[in-house]
Structure 1
């Protein structure tokens, strides 16, 4: 089994008045890049029933853009957390810890989470989360409205650590491009995947992927140059990329170290042919 590598640096703070305001942030009709440098303290939010917690909202369903998911980067101060974290009965979630330690109680069972820990939370899961340590803890929270299918049961909740899973190399790459999969691609109970993708220095996506899946892509380690629609952009640890369906995409990891990112995509469901309505009684 592999051991956990480093994760993205802590964000926050505020640039000095002497800093140049022009940077790498961009929002287009096909993609957005939110660099780590714009994730300052003045753009954080608070959430109901979360104590001592700041939130960088990296994505949210947005008409005409990416519409299936929301992704938050959460920072929980010592003693903070929530006894009532999820207010939507039809929301599923994934937690991925990138800094500090957290105590998760999931359906009555306690779990100690550390960097590299991953928790899947199906709709209706009973969970609480606390930072019982002495340092701030950070984690990604990916939320999606679960798409129920008659005859297919809900996937169960689970907690794993990245070090427990062997990355799977893409065919013909000798492991230079590999994916750590927390859920089997054949398990159609799941309608989203949140994986960790790793490139060795010099590895690439050698063609322009153009597909129906939306992406949230948070760089955990290293740097690379990414082809997004018509543009080449440089990205590094701490950056977030938001790609709508069918945005052409490719990348080249120039080194000197590995390039790793957390990747969201929607999977295993028919595209909606009309706007979906919420079931009666579901909290909004």
Structure 2
């Protein structure tokens, strides 16, 4: 299988000669954070993380996307955390885009290279270190796990995208495919993190309109994406954030594949309690 390249932000600042005009936008239905925005001055830091900074690119907001947070973590050599997750109800997904990290789950160690994926259930003891000589960068998606009577929480899972064959969407001649890390029919999971790939000329041929919230980080290539009533050009390194029911579609452009890391919430009843109080 072809080895993949994944865009990872490097920080820095745009030069003073750059124009301010950009593609960044935040609307009632969606947001776009272009890759130029991932500068030094918008990084954050976390307790119990050493030699680490991060870009917080999604967080729950009332009236917008409410189910998840997404970070791009940058861990310097020797950095990491022995107490990374402060919330015992939070589940997580890690996806490595640059460098190598050492992940320990309940005492068992895994080395995650680019394409490496880890699912971390709630109440799981894990820690992470960069034991290499180069910075490591990875996505960390967090969600409050929704327990269901009679269903156990999922087990930890460590995989690599390079070892998984994408599944083509029906009637697309392979131009649109999805790399799945978990079985969609496994109702223990209340979120899916997948990789969607469009070959040049591939499209979503209708405006998808559905209940899932989305986070889409472009790993490779470029496309024109339909968000609500707008067509937006996106490229590797851009992030799109969609609230529930925001219509979406796309045309893949450029000489190579268009690929993105996709989050969505699944397999649970919509919560009603907030509206009944």
TM over 0.5: yes
- The Cα shift of 1:3 comes to 3.4
Aligned ranges for residues 197-276 of structure 1 at < 5 Å? 197-275=196-274
Q: Residues 109-130 of structure 1, C-alpha deviation per residue, up to 9 Å, x if partnerless?
A: 0001100000000001111100
* Alignment partners' CA distance in 1, 2:73 and 2:268: 29
Cα RMSD for the two superposed structures: 0.9
Aligned to 1:190: 189
Matched ranges for 1:72-111 at <5 A: 72-111=71-110
Q: Where in structure 1 are there 5+ consecutive unaligned residues?
A: 277-284
2:162, 2:58 → 1: CA distance?
27
Structure 2's unaligned 5+ residue stretches are none
Secondary structure at 2:274 match in 1: coil
Query: What is the CA distance between 1:223 and its match in structure 2?
Result: 0.3
> After the TM superposition, which residues 128-143 of structure 1 pair with which residues of structure 2 at under 5 Å, given as runs?
128-143=127-142
| Cα distance in 2 between the residues matched to 1:7 and 1:58 | 17
The answer (yes or no) to whether the contact 2:8–2:137 under 8 Å persists in 1 is no
Distance 2:143 2:94 in 1: 12
Task: Name the counterpart of 1:21.
Answer: 20
Give SS of 2:41's match: helix
CA contact (8 A) 1:79 1:131 kept: yes
TM-score by length of 1: 0.96
Q: After the TM superposition, which parts of structure 1 deviate over 2 Å for at least 4 consecutive aligned residues?
A: none
User: What pairs up with 1:112-191 in 2 under 5 angstroms?
Assistant: 112-191=111-190
**CA positional deviation for 1:246:** 0.2
Q: TM-score, normalised by structure 2?
A: 0.98
Cα separation, 2, equivalents of 1:125 and 1:272: 25
> Contact 1:153 / 1:189 at 8 angstroms: preserved in 2?
yes
1:10 counterpart residue number: 9
Q: In 1, are the aligned partners of 2:118 and 2:157 still within 8 Å (CA)?
A: yes
Q: Deviations over 1:118-153 (max 9, x none)?
A: 000000111110000011000000000000001111
Contact 2:51 2:75 in 1 (8 A): yes
> Could you list the per-position Cα deviations for residues 168-191 of structure 1 after superposition, in whole angstroms to 9, with x for gaps in the alignment?
000001211000000111000000
Distance in 2 (CA, whole Å) between partners of 1:186 and 1:3 is 28
Post-superposition offset of 1:263: 0.1
**Partner-residue secondary structure (3-state), 2:159:** strand
